[in-house]
Structure 1
Amino acid sequence: MKETDAGNPPAALAAAGTGPTQELDGSSQAGVSAPISADTVTWYKIGMSAVEGEGVPLDQTSMWAHNADILSGMRFSATIQMRTPLRVLEHHGELHSNPKSAPPAYAREPWEGMWVPQTKSFREMGIDLPEMDGRQMASEVGTIPADGGDYLPFLKKVRRIVESYRTIDQRVGELRALLAEPRYAEYVSKSGGADRIINNFFPTFLSTIPGLPAATANSLRDQGLDTADMLAAAPDATLLAVKGIGPSKLKTLRARCEEINEGRSHPRIDAVRR
Structure 2
Amino acid sequence: MNIMGVWRRNPGAALLASPFESTPPSDDRTRQVAVAAAFLASEINVLLGVANDSHDFPTKTARLASAKQKLSELMGIASLHPSIGMTNLVEVQACIVRVESELLEYRLQSDDERPGPPKNFENVNTESSSITVGELQNKPLSAWGNADIINGLRFSATLQLRTPLRILLRHGEIHIDEAKPPPIIIQEGWEGIWLPAAKSFEEALCHPNSTDEEIRFYIRIDAGLADINTVASDIGPIREDDYLPFLVALRRIIEVDDTIENRIKMLRETNFPADWQRLLHRHDGIDGLVERFFPQFMNLASGLNTPNRIAAAPDKTLLAIKGIGPATLRKIRVCCAEVATNRDCDRIDMVRV
TM range (shorter): 0.7 to 0.9
| 1:138 lines up with 2:232 in the alignment | yes
- Change over 3 Å in CA distance of 1:179–1:249 after alignment to 2: farther
1:32-77 deviation digits (Å, cap 9, x = unpaired): xx83579xxxxxxxxxxxxxxx954264346765211111111111
In the TM superposition, 1:117-196 aligns within 5 A as 117-127=196-206, 128=214, 129-130=217-218, 131-132=221-222, 133=225, 134=227, 135-145=229-239, 148-178=240-270, 182-196=274-288
| 1:270 lines up with 2:307 in the alignment | no
- Change over 3 Å in CA distance of 1:235–1:175 after alignment to 2: same
Structure 1 residue 273: deviation in Å? 0.6
Larger Rg: 2
| 1:82 lines up with 2:158 in the alignment | no
1:115-136 deviation digits (Å, cap 9, x = unpaired): 1111122222234332323222
Secondary structure at 1:19 match in 2: helix
Q: Is the 8 A contact 2:253 2:263 kept in 1?
A: yes
Q: Is the 8 A contact 1:20 1:113 kept in 2?
A: no
Structure 1 residue 138: deviation in Å? 1.4
1:213-272 deviation digits (Å, cap 9, x = unpaired): xxxx3x52xx11011111111122322222221222122112222222322222122221
Which residue matches 1:109? 188
Higher relative contact order (Cα pairs below 8 Å, separated by 6+ residues)? 1
Q: Is the 8 A contact 1:78 1:92 kept in 2?
A: yes
Identity of aligned residues (%): 37
Report the TM-score when normalising by structure 2.
0.60
Q: Is the 8 A contact 2:283 2:289 kept in 1?
A: yes
Q: Is the 8 A contact 1:232 1:257 kept in 2?
A: yes
- Greater fraction of residues in helix: 2
Which residue matches 1:261? 340
- Change over 3 Å in CA distance of 1:23–1:174 after alignment to 2: closer
For 1:35, the aligned partner's letter is: S
Structure 2, unpaired ranges of 5+: 1-5, 15-44, 76-127, 207-213
Structure 1, unpaired ranges of 5+: 29-33, 39-53, 207-216
For 2:131, the aligned partner's letter is: P
Q: Is the 8 A contact 1:76 1:95 kept in 2?
A: yes
- Change over 3 Å in CA distance of 1:124–1:261 after alignment to 2: closer
Please give the alpha-carbon distance, in whole angstroms, between the structure 1 residues aligned to 2:273 and 2:205: 47
Secondary structure at 1:141 match in 2: coil
Please give the alpha-carbon distance, in whole angstroms, between the structure 2 residues aligned to 1:169 and 1:184: 23
Structure 1 residue 80: deviation in Å? 0.7
In the TM superposition, 1:1-274 aligns within 5 A as 4-5=8-9, 6-7=11-12, 9-10=45-46, 11-13=49-51, 15=54, 16-19=59-62, 22=65, 24=67, 26=68, 35=72, 55-57=129-131, 59-60=135-136, 61=140, 65-127=144-206, 128=214, 129-130=217-218, 131-132=221-222, 133=225, 134=227, 135-145=229-239, 148-178=240-270, 182-206=274-298, 217=299, 219-220=300-301, 223-274=302-353
- Change over 3 Å in CA distance of 1:13–1:56 after alignment to 2: same
Please give the alpha-carbon distance, in whole angstroms, between the structure 2 residues aligned to 1:152 and 1:125: 28
Report the TM-score when normalising by structure 1.
0.75
Secondary structure at 1:66 match in 2: coil
Structure 1 residue 175: deviation in Å? 1.4
Please give the alpha-carbon distance, in whole angstroms, between the structure 1 residues aligned to 2:191 and 2:343: 30
Structure 1 residue 180: deviation in Å? 6.5
- Change over 3 Å in CA distance of 1:13–1:114 after alignment to 2: farther
